[in-house]
Amino acid sequence: MSAPTTTASSAGVTGAEPMTHRQTLEALSGLLLVLFVAMLSGTVVATALPKIIGSLDGSQTQYTWVVTATLLAATATTPIWGKLADLFSKKALVQIAIVVFVLGSVVSGLSQTAGQLIAARAFQGIGVGGLQALVQVVIAAMIPPRERGRYNGYLGGVMALATVGGPLLGGLIVDTSWLGWRWCFFVGVPVAVLALVVLQFTLHVPTIRRENVKIDYLGAALIAVGVSLLLIWVSFVDGSFGWLSWQTAAMVGGSVLLLAIAVLVESRAAEPVVPLRIVRERTTALAILASLAVGMAMFGGAVFLGQYFQIGRGYSPTEAGLLTIPMMGGVLISSIVAGRLITKHGRVKPYIVTGLVVLIVGFAMLSVMDHETSLYYLGVAMFAVGVGVGMSMQNLVLAVQNTVRLKDIGAASSSVAFFRSLGGAVGVSVLGAVLARRVTDQITHGLATAGIPAGSSGNAGGSLNLNALPEAVQHIVRAAYGDATGHIFLISAAIAVVGLVAAFALRPVTLRTSLDLPEATDRTR
């Protein structure tokens, strides 16, 4: 069943009959399923990558690009998907994104070389970017902002389950002989197909059809290439080349030039991919800044927890995943509770500000940890981080959605998601580089203090296979990782402070109870 449509000149957009609570939950079930598999595709390979790259005879660079390729494609295409959602059928676009994701997943699982896998993961990333952007866009088209708070709790739960459950599932799959690593990519296919069927029969959202629509392909291409070039630089800097090098100058300079041209093109385009009038709006600009900081702090910090537990503390991948459950619990509980309170009172700013304060406290607690810190203490700190994320992340999108017209909801929502993903990509790379330097320095110092010759350390600084190292060196490496990780969370806390400042500057507003702004009917072209 296709989605109902309206013309731009009609009042059908604001006057469309709202979905009942039951219809909303039915459609939401399909949306949450695809969001879950999209997020799972990024986390399920975390513990499986060593075996995947080993079986395909891949290199360390290819190891990194199996993850980076998906991130690049998803981040670069997010604003494009969002703009398309403002011009065409949201339901059809979600279904197209699901098909792209499924095809990318199948080809990834069938890959015979690391190069093929990287290409397939990039294609899969296009679908992931669409699903991450479009799910929130469709929810915004179904549910008024005032009622949307309680549904954000479901989104938080899905995010938490995918974040923590992914590494656990990946470890289980690669350790099961009759499955093997290829099922890390196949596992999401039946769920995505099920979601496609569910949405076909349950999702009914209005479509605005406008005559003589022109897609800003030049602006989209400039944004995609400019962002991709920046993320490629972030992925390789301090590894393949230095921060101060001709490669850095070429990539960063080229990216800045392309994005500057993109801004010029967008300012003159009839249908810009990222409408500058929306980005310049105070609430959207502040939410983007806060999301950029939250993305850098959350993704950049939390990604190292699994490494800390495995290398710094000696736990298995499965045990490391279980130890991060407090963070998942924090996200789940806070997103549900905050969502219901927002729906009840209609105010979102207090919860965003409170969430960022708690996030900073959680990161500050983690900043003092070392390789002997009590697991109970770490559990409390991770729970605080989860609570902060659950109260702030989705509600920043909600604050923006409340300020724009329904026809612009896609571009506005995807802009926030785009900058959050961009912040996460930059955070992972920069904080990872900082961690690597500190670990190397501490291992070198530890070896010298212990009187162990560098030649007998077995490449301690560059190998994560600790079993291949002498026992005395293993202890030094574990201590180095355990002690250095705390510094990462100190930086994460500082970054989150920027988000808190932006949140304080948000205007305190009451969420509207209508799907569209009252004046949208008169101003819709």
- Please name the CATH architecture into which domain 20-210 falls: Up-down Bundle (1.20)
Q: Pick the closest to residue 166 from 137, 114, 135, 128 (CA basis).
A: 128
The torsion defined by the Cα of 421, 424, 425 and 431, in degrees rounded to 10, comes to: 170
Per-residue pLDDT at 211 exceeds 60: no
Which neighbouring-strand residues pair with 241? Answer: 237
The pLDDT value recorded for residue 33 is: 84
Question: What span, in angstroms and rounded, lies between the C-alpha atoms of 326 and 317?
Answer: 16
Question: What span, in angstroms and rounded, lies between the C-alpha atoms of 289 and 295?
Answer: 10
Question: What span, in angstroms and rounded, lies between the C-alpha atoms of 13 and 522?
Answer: 11
Domain 275-517, CATH: 1.20.1250.20
Q: Pick the closest to residue 135 from 148, 147, 146 (CA basis).
A: 148
Backbone angles phi, psi at 510, to 5 degrees: -100, 130
Question: What span, in angstroms and rounded, lies between the C-alpha atoms of 3 and 261?
Answer: 37
User: Which residue did the predictor score with more confidence, 336 or 234?
Assistant: 336
Q: Is 346 left (phi over 0), alpha (psi -120 to 50) or beta?
A: left
The pLDDT value recorded for residue 11 is: 35
> Confidence class of residue 30 from pLDDT cuts 50, 70 and 90?
confident
Domains 20-210 and 275-517 fall in the same CATH topology: yes
Map residue 80 onto helix, strand or coil: helix
Radius of gyration of the chain (CA): 23
Name the most confidently modeled range: 77-91, 104-118, 321-335.
Answer: 104-118
Per-residue pLDDT at 492 exceeds 50: yes
> Confidence class of residue 317 from pLDDT cuts 50, 70 and 90?
low
Per-residue pLDDT at 177 exceeds 80: no
> Confidence class of residue 22 from pLDDT cuts 50, 70 and 90?
confident
Q: Position of tokens 């990222």? A: 274
Encoded tokens for 467: 């079993």
- Determine how β-strand 207-209 pairs with β-strand 5-7: parallel
Q: Pick the closest to residue 188 from 281, 70, 12, 86 (CA basis).
A: 70
pLDDT digits (tens, 9 = 90+) for 129-170: 888 778 877 887 777 766 766 666 677 677 767 766 777 787
Q: Position of tokens 């705390």? A: 486
Name the most confidently modeled range: 101-115, 194-208, 280-294, 312-326.
Answer: 101-115
Which neighbouring-strand residues pair with 6? Answer: 208
Question: What span, in angstroms and rounded, lies between the C-alpha atoms of 117 and 53?
Answer: 10
By CB neighbour count within 10 A (0-12 exposed, 13-18 middle, 19+ buried), where does 372 fall? Answer: exposed
Question: Do the beta carbons of residue 29 and residue 201 sit within 8 Å?
Answer: no
Number of C-alpha atoms within 13 angstroms, CB side, residue 157? 13
Residues in the chain: 525
Consecutive H or E run containing 109: helix 90-110
Which neighbouring-strand residues pair with 207? Answer: 5
Mean pLDDT (whole number) for 400-414:
71
User: How many CB atoms are located within 10 Å of the residue 214 CB?
Assistant: 9
For the chain, the structural domain boundaries read 20-210, 216-270, 275-517
Question: Do the beta carbons of residue 313 and residue 464 sit within 8 Å?
Answer: no
Report CA torsion sign: 179, 180, 182, 185: positive
> Confidence class of residue 100 from pLDDT cuts 50, 70 and 90?
very high
Question: What span, in angstroms and rounded, lies between the C-alpha atoms of 384 and 363?
Answer: 8
The torsion defined by the Cα of 512, 518, 520 and 522, in degrees rounded to 10, comes to: 180
Map residue 207 onto helix, strand or coil: strand
Question: What span, in angstroms and rounded, lies between the C-alpha atoms of 502 and 417?
Answer: 16
Map residue 6 onto helix, strand or coil: strand
3-state SS, one letter per residue, for 155-205: HHHHHHHHHHHHHHHHHHHHHCCCCCCCHHHHCCHHHHHHHHHHHHHHCCC
User: How many CB atoms are located within 10 Å of the residue 510 CB?
Assistant: 12
User: Which residue did the predictor score with more confidence, 48 or 512?
Assistant: 48
The torsion defined by the Cα of 121, 170, 312 and 360, in degrees rounded to 10, comes to: 70
Concatenated DSSP letters of 219-249: HHHHHHHHHHHHHHHHHHBTTTB-SSSHHHH
Distances (CA, A) of 5 to 80, 94, 133: 21, 16, 21
Encoded tokens for 523: 């101003």
Provide the percentage of residues in the chain whose pLDDT is more than 90.
10
Concatenated DSSP letters of 277-290: HHHTSHHHHHHHHH
Question: What span, in angstroms and rounded, lies between the C-alpha atoms of 328 and 382?
Answer: 9
Encoded tokens for 401: 């959605």
